[in-house]
Chain A
Amino acid sequence: MVHLTGEEKGIVTGLWGKVNVDEVGGEALGRLLVVYPWTQRFFDSFGDLSSAAAVMGNAKVKAHGKKVLDSFSEGLKNLDNLKGTFAKLSELHCDKLHVDPENFRLLGNVLVCVLARNFGKDFTPQVQAAYQKVVVGVATALAHKYH
């Protein structure tokens, strides 16, 4: 179970309050598909993913990115019980979607990168450390029900 100090929780929610969840979701998912192209295999039905421009402009990528990040937002409200919060999604990703859990870590790293780009200097080492802890915690929670 991931342990965040009171200060770290404050840092995480403080920054998240400034995040445009709609946009960042699409950006993060899009960048996952561009930077780690094998992840496109999970999104066959999304249409044109043939170039970076196509991926980043793809309406289904943006919509699904928003969905993913909304889910991540829920996690941020329940940092003390990530495994419980993501239990059903963990089962879904294992039993129905067959997603290798390594990809959760990749998405987490891409999200940290997108936050770094959007917040520049405000994405201090301390903020980065807190978020790195969170994305690892979420990735672990999503892998927890795998069998």
Chain B
Amino acid sequence: MVHFTAEEKAAVANLWAKVNVEVAGGEILGRLLVVYPWTQRFFDSFGNLSSETAIMGNPKVKAHGKKVLNSFGNAVKHMDDLKGTFSHLSELHCDRLHVDPENFKLLGNMIVIVLATQFNREFTPQMQAAWQKLTTAVANALAYKYH
């Protein structure tokens, strides 16, 4: 189980409070689809993903990005029990959505990068370390129920 220090928890919560989940969510999911184009295969029903502009402007991408990042918000509230928090989502992603868990790590890296673009001053090395730890732990929690 991953352990976060009180300092790390405070840093994460502090930055999270400043995140516009709707905007950042769409940005994060959009960038995943642009930077790692094979991830588009999970979003066949989303319509036009034919270019960077199409992806970043796609309303379904934005809506789903918001949904995903809201869910990530639960991680911030339950950093001591990520496996429990993401248990159902883990089963869903394995049994119904058939998503390779490697993609959770890629999305986690995307979260870190979008935070870096949006929070220049606040995204210190310590802040980056705390968020990298969290996104890795969430990725592991999402993979936990895979079989």
The number of residue pairs between A and B whose CB atoms lie closer than 8 Å in the complex comes to 60
Cβ–Cβ < 8 Å partners of A120 in chain B = 117-118, 120
Q: Which of B36, B112, B117, B129 contacts A121 (CB 8 A)?
A: B117
B75 contacts the other chain (CB 8 A): no
Q: Are B52 and A125 in contact (CB under 8 A)?
A: yes
Q: Are B113 and A34 in contact (CB under 8 A)?
A: no
Question: How would you classify the secondary structure of chain A's contact residues: helix, strand, loop or mixed?
Answer: helix
Contact mask for chain B residues 43-63; partner A; CB cutoff 8 A; 1 contact, 0 none: 000000000100110000000
Question: How would you classify the secondary structure of chain B's contact residues: helix, strand, loop or mixed?
Answer: helix
Q: In the complex, which residue of chain A has the Cβ closest to the Cβ of B129? A: A35
CA distance A28 to B116 in the complex (A): 13
Q: Are B128 and A34 in contact (CB under 8 A)?
A: yes
Cβ–Cβ < 8 Å partners of A118 in chain B = 120
Q: Are A129 and B125 in contact (CB under 8 A)?
A: no
What interface size band does chain B fall in?
20 to 34
B136–chain A nearest beta-carbon distance, Å: 10
A31 contacts the other chain (CB 8 A): yes
Q: In the complex, which residue of chain A has the Cβ closest to the Cβ of B118? A: A120
CA distance A93 to B145 in the complex (A): 37
B20–chain A nearest beta-carbon distance, Å: 14
B83 contacts the other chain (CB 8 A): no
A35–chain B nearest beta-carbon distance, Å: 4
Interface residue total, chain A, C-beta cutoff 8 A: 25
Question: Given A116-B113, A128-B113, A35–B125 Cβ distance below 8 Å?
Answer: yes
Contact mask for chain A residues 1-44; partner B; CB cutoff 8 A; 1 contact, 0 none: 00000000000000000000000000000110011100000000
Q: Are B34 and A129 in contact (CB under 8 A)?
A: yes
Interface hub of A112, A117, A124, A128 (most chain B Cβ within 10 A) = A117
B35 contacts the other chain (CB 8 A): yes
Cβ–Cβ < 8 Å partners of A129 in chain B = 34-35, 52
**B interface residues (Cβ-Cβ under 8 A, vs A):** 30-31, 34-36, 52, 55-56, 109, 112-114, 116-118, 120, 123-126, 128-129, 132
A-B pairs with lowest CB-CB distance, top 5: A116-B116, A34-B125, A117-B116, A125-B34, A35-B129
